[in-house]
């Protein structure tokens, strides 16, 4: 997804159910790696998030809809 210029369109505005169907599975914060959980705590703490599979792509939700797609790296 890094090279996909339309990646936001794949995610933003979609419900958790739609995203699970598209990507197969999404990790909760509790199931994410310690590194991803640490990065989450540096600026995203308190937000409802899911991670696309075991990748560094974090989806931030506003209610049940995806509001932001974030690539977690170098935190």
Give me the pLDDT at residue 7, please. 84
Structure tokens at 58: 């974090």
Q: What angle do CA 21, 26, 41 make, to 5 degrees?
A: 150
Each residue of 1-53: pLDDT tens digit?
666 667 899 999 999 999 999 999 999 999 999 999 999 999 899 999 999 99
Give me the pLDDT at residue 1, please. 63
């Amino acid at each position: 997804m890094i090279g996909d210029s339309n990646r936001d369109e794949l995610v933003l505005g979609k419900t958790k159910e739609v995203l699970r169907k598209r990507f197969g599975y999404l990790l909760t914060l509790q199931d994410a790696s310690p590194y991803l959980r640490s990065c989450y705590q540096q600026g995203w703490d308190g937000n409802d998030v899911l991670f696309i599979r075991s990748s560094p792509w974090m989806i931030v939700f506003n209610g049940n809809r995806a509001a932001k797609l974030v690539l977690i790296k170098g935190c």
